[in-house]
Amino acid sequence: MNRRVHATYEGWVQGVGFRFSAERAAAAFGLSGWVKNLRDGRVELVCEGKEADLKGFLEKMHSIFKTYIRNSDLAWGEATGEFDGFDIRGD
């Protein structure tokens, strides 16, 4: 059963390769969804996949950017299956 996580990250998370790293990590974990910068300086992402893979993805992102992330907000839910791959979306 697939799950969905909706996350927002704040801190110094724009301009440090966060979206590119999320795209690469999502591909490595076989996840689908998207990531984008928000106008207020946060980064938002939505990912779907197996729960263990989602947790591994989130841990990887945290380990890479732990010095840049000041706060994160995660909301878990059921996957919708609406995504084909993982995309970086425009602001």
Q: Is 70 a catalytic residue?
A: no
Q: Can you tell me the distance from the alpha carbon of 30 to that of 49, in angstroms, rounded to the nearest whole number?
A: 7
Radius of gyration of the CA atoms of the chain, in A: 12
Catalytic residue of the set 2, 3, 4, 19? 19
Catalytic residue of the set 2, 3, 37, 89? 37
Strand partners, 88: 35
Written as six digits, the tokens of 83 are: 């995504």
Q: Is 42 a catalytic residue?
A: no
Q: Can you tell me the distance from the alpha carbon of 77 to that of 60, in angstroms, rounded to the nearest whole number?
A: 20
- Residues annotated as part of the active site: 19, 37
